[in-house]
Structure 1
């Protein structure tokens, strides 16, 4: 007759533990959702910042290539290729990261 009385506190403890875990999971899920919305809200300004950096680097690289070309430097084609590659990389990287994470 003592066996049913011993099971009641154990069952109550298990139910209490399950309830606590459900509340904790709900708070964790809302935290993850909030973090996700914060990170996605930074992507548009971040993408615009990368494009702006690419524009500045492109202008500086263009001036550098022009100065090498006008002075007759034989290394102009290599400088132009690396400048063009860097500009393409910035544009593609920003676009791929944005499409991957959003």
Structure 2
């Protein structure tokens, strides 16, 4: 193949690649915003059930912690207040985390 034919083939190839990239970017621009909006609506749709699930987990942990603290209190353990603080702190953390995440993203 001569040098002139190689240059011609390379030029045609680069023109074809440039045309393909231009066309592909034109198609991507039209669907990009719709895709972002769809993803946003899908993610925000999950926040209500997840928030309720976190509240339910916090309630169950509160009940389990209450039973554990009551059993320690009845048995006369000296570290009852430390156990109560840790269980109560865990429940408060879950509730505050769910509320803050909801306020940030909705």
Shift of 1:22: 3.4
Correspondences of 1:12-23 after superposition (within 5 Å): 17=22, 20-23=24-27
1:40 to 44, 52, 74: 44
Q: Aligned residue for 1:7? A: none
Once superposed, what is the RMSD of the aligned Cα atoms?
1.8
> Which secondary structure state, in structure 2, belongs to the residue aligned with residue 31 of structure 1?
helix
Structure 1 residue ranges (4+ consecutive) displaced by more than 3 angstroms after TM superposition: none
> Are residues 1:67 and 2:71 paired?
yes
Shift of 1:21: 2.7
Stretches of structure 1 lacking an aligned partner (at least 5 in a row): 1-9
Q: Aligned residue for 2:32? A: 28
Stretches of structure 2 lacking an aligned partner (at least 5 in a row): 1-14
Shift of 1:20: 4.8
How many pairs were matched up? 89
Q: Aligned residue for 1:57? A: 61
Distance 1:73 1:95 in 2: 34
Q: Aligned residue for 2:12? A: none
Distance 1:101 1:65 in 2: 35
> Which secondary structure state, in structure 2, belongs to the residue aligned with residue 26 of structure 1?
helix
Distance 2:77 2:24 in 1: 73
TM-score, length basis structure 1: 0.79
